[in-house]
Amino acid sequence: MSSSYLIALGSNRRHRVFGRPREVVRAAMEELAALGTVTGRSSVFSTDPIGPAQRRFANAALVIESEYDPLALLAGLKHIEREFGRRTGRRWGDRVLDLDIVLWSGGKFASHTLTIPHDEFRLRDFVLRPAKMIAPNWRDPVTGSTIRQLSARA
């Protein structure tokens, strides 16, 4: 059975092939089609760094219809991150590519490696702003608020 997922994308480091972070995010959007059917893509936004990151980020969101369950989709996202040169290491640092499952049409999901909805998405304008472009009426299964409502509060 097919599920819909809202995926957040981010980059703030150049890639040897794709170039600047904005182009890294665009290339990653194309790669995500290998995991299902992309049904919505936001624009790419430039955002300020958070935490110890030093460089501005390029952020976007997309909606994908996929046959994968949440853990299988997460494995696919991690594989794409590694293909783009993502190294595991410190949290919140500079990175070539970050892919996160924000919401899922199945509602809530929790395992030791994945929590849906994403824990911090309600507070992050760099997630809500692009998500609002493509999925304004998706509801947070925890609060019941739409992305549009959450974005207005962020």
Residues 6 or more apart in contact with residue 72 via CB below 8 angstroms: none
Q: Is the pLDDT of residue 50 over 90?
A: no
- pTM of this structure: 0.93
In this structure, what DSSP letter does residue 96 have? S
Residue 149 has pLDDT above 60, yes or no: yes
Q: Give per-residue pLDDT as tens, 76-107.
A: 999 999 999 866 655 556 788 999 999 999 99
pLDDT, position 49: 80
Distance CA 48, CA 134 (A): 22
* pLDDT the model gives residue 114: 97
On whether the CB atoms of residues 15 and 85 are closer than 8 A, the answer is: yes
